[in-house]
Amino acid sequence: DFDANGSVVRHDMYESVINSNERMTYTAVRQILVDRDQRVRNRYQHLLRQFELMAELMEVLRARRSKRGSIDFDLPEPEIVLDLQGQMADIVRAERNMAHQLVEEFMLAANETVAGHLKKLEMPLIYRVHEEPAEEKLADLVEFLATIGIALPPAGKLRPRNIQTAIASVKGTPEEALVNTVVLRTMKQARYSEENSGHFGLAAGTYTHFTSPIRRYPDLIVHRIVKGVIHGRYLTEASREELAEGLPASAVHCSQRERLAMEAERDVVAMLKVRFMEDKLGEAYDGII
């Protein structure tokens, strides 16, 4: 439960069964909330009030996260469009509309709530951590941004809020993609750890991966811990110690597999991009270097 400022005032954790009465898509939700498409709104009339309330809460949560200094990148991602035969038909810019933002904000809220709940209980856990960038990298960032007129505090005093402000200041300008890319390259990679060192990019003191539009293995580890807490499995010191023993190796393993999966995905997309451009040799295009 949230209050009007977006603070969590109460939360429950219990085993449940989800009964899906509608199959919603990102596109349909966008048509309801952004396009105000009357045909689609009529079709989902019984859900309109809920969606509008969700959109209102999403804006409140976003503003709250922004205020604390969470960094929100908006870099274009390629989406490979396949035809009915599974052949590549096009490469387009992946859409990130209000429907995606709804899922993102509620997912972040769930992850933070679960992490905070288990930390309060002093439960061993796999956290999603994102350490502060190295000071020399921050110094390079400060120096570079100064050349395009963006002033930041010295590296030692730089906080996520300062970086967020810099990104916001170039939104909609020709420098936007450049600044986003350079800031992203300054960051360390997020990873899984049994030690809670906070999440720099989200400006969150405690964070884990409990839920997401895709189901990751670390989510399942956290689910098992939550389920164990609900069923009273970790009431003794010995049971907690036994759980804690296996977490460091699991965290390292999950971080490595995530890195490997990302590299594989990048390789596949790069291969498909080259294949897409194969019949366009000799043609001229605008590009960003």
Which has more confidence, 156 or 9? 9
pTM for the whole structure: 0.90
Q: What is the mean pLDDT of residues 70-92?
A: 87
Say if residue 48's pLDDT is above 90: yes
Say if residue 223's pLDDT is above 80: yes
C-alpha–C-alpha distance, residues 117 and 222, integer Å: 12
Alpha-carbon distances of 27 from 67, 101, 141, 266, 283, rounded to whole Å: 29, 12, 37, 25, 34
Say if residue 287's pLDDT is above 90: no
How many CA atoms lie less than 13 Å away from 120 in the CB half-sphere? 7
Residue 118 confidence class, pLDDT cut points 50, 70, 90: very high
Q: What is the pLDDT of residues 121-143, one digit of tens each?
A: 999 999 999 999 999 999 999 99
Min mean pLDDT across 4-18, 64-78, 188-202 is at: 64-78
> In this structure, what token pair is assigned to residue 240?
């907690």
Q: What is the mean pLDDT of residues 182-205?
A: 95
Q: Which amino acid is at 190?
A: A
Residue 207 confidence class, pLDDT cut points 50, 70, 90: very high
Residue 215 confidence class, pLDDT cut points 50, 70, 90: confident
Say if residue 96's pLDDT is above 90: no
Q: Where are the alpha helices (DSSP H) in 174-236?
A: 176-186, 217-230
Q: Where are the alpha helices (DSSP H) in 48-123?
A: 48-68, 98-120
The per-residue pLDDT for 140 is 94
Percent of the chain with pLDDT over 70: 100
The per-residue pLDDT for 87 is 84
Mean of the per-residue pLDDT values for the chain? 93
Say if residue 233's pLDDT is above 90: yes
The per-residue pLDDT for 82 is 87
Say if residue 213's pLDDT is above 80: no
SS3 127: strand
Q: For 146, list phi and psi in degrees, rounded to 5.
A: -60, -30
C-alpha–C-alpha distance, residues 21 and 126, integer Å: 33
